[in-house]
A = this chain, B = another copy of it.
């Protein structure tokens, strides 16, 4: 009995409504399958006349090569994955864009997803990307145990961590000098006469937050200032809690005269709180943000270059893909203190 249909087995058909394949193009152009493949891929060895016929068939049928099949055959996908925390956070926009630019310059596409700071979701996403057989992975860690990536890395998925180091595995990482930046920022406040300086930051289980806290402590210690517990507020993330934390350290018998904000979200909230205060309080924030210069006073910040972080990581990833270094490395990018006014206010009262 002859085959009556192209779908002799139960193949569910194709949700794209039976797109034309190279076989169809070949049939229409009256050439062999492989010749179509050659034309599509611009390989040499095809007469201009044949090429024209094939091209016409391609246009007539609206053929588009199926990259899934191609990947299956070739083993590389020309795509890299990016797992980040939140695309809507302005800090990650430029980073993501930078990674994309580098990928583009290497002819690769970018697939990305947000972990929403949830370790399980990070893991799920990263593994889904590996199942897609991305050539490489840029990860902004949410969790602190990345052993789940070991088989993948061993299997050849180039992996680079950004912004925070990987947990419990040895891998490339690109980060800002969080410790040094925070220390410089706090030292800047001390240099302007402050001694009672508050610190509001994220949970210390997050590497960046811990490093910045360490920088704060180091600067205070260098200046011989004992730190009091009520000056520090750790693990606050929601605007409401930041607000309350700030208000608390600004009241009482010996209120702080300056605040160091551990990240841009904290900074913004603190700016709001300070705007409601009658006396002037100095402020230095970690992370730059748009319009910081337009506020009165302008907000002094320790700026990190998120685009440079992304670019550096992606470049390292592709160097690895091109057969580059095999020893995992830790790359630290410097931060920059930008004085705009708020960090130069003298202690009030």
Contact = CB atoms under 8 A, between A and B. Distances in A.
Interface of A: 11-17, 19, 62, 64-69, 71-77, 79, 86-90, 92-94, 96-97, 100, 104, 109-114, 127-133, 135, 150-152, 154-157, 268, 271-272, 275, 289-291, 294-296, 307, 321
Contacts of A13: 75
A75 B113 contact: no
Nearest to A129: B109
B151 A62 contact: yes
B74 A71 contact: no
20 contacts: A15-B75, A16-B157, A19-B155, A62-B151, A62-B152, A64-B155, A66-B72, A68-B68, A68-B72, A68-B133, A79-B111, A79-B132, A88-B96, A90-B93, A90-B290, A97-B114, A109-B128, A111-B111, A289-B291, A295-B295
A100 B87 contact: yes
A65 B170 CA distance: 25
Given A62-B154, A295-B295, 5 more contacts: A13-B75, A64-B152, A69-B72, A87-B100, A271-B291
A16 B64 contact: no
A112 B104 CA distance: 12
B97 A88 contact: yes
A151 to B, nearest CB: 3
Contacts of A133: 16, 66-68
* Copies of this chain, tallied across the complex: 2
B109 A110 contact: no
Given A130-B64, A131-B67, A294-B295, A15 B111 contact: no
B127 A64 contact: yes
Contacts of A16: 75, 133, 155-157
A72 B72 contact: yes
Contact of A89 (B93, B150, B272): B93
Contact of A155 (B62, B90, B96, B128): B62
A71 B70 CA distance: 12
A3 to B, nearest CB: 19
A94 to B, nearest CB: 5
A65 B131 contact: yes
Nearest to A89: B93
A111 B114 contact: no
A150 B56 CA distance: 17
A13 B155 CA distance: 13
Nearest to A101: B114
Contacts of A113: 100, 104, 109-110
A75 B14 contact: yes
A110 B132 CA distance: 12
B100 A94 contact: no
A86 B272 CA distance: 29
A109 B111 contact: yes
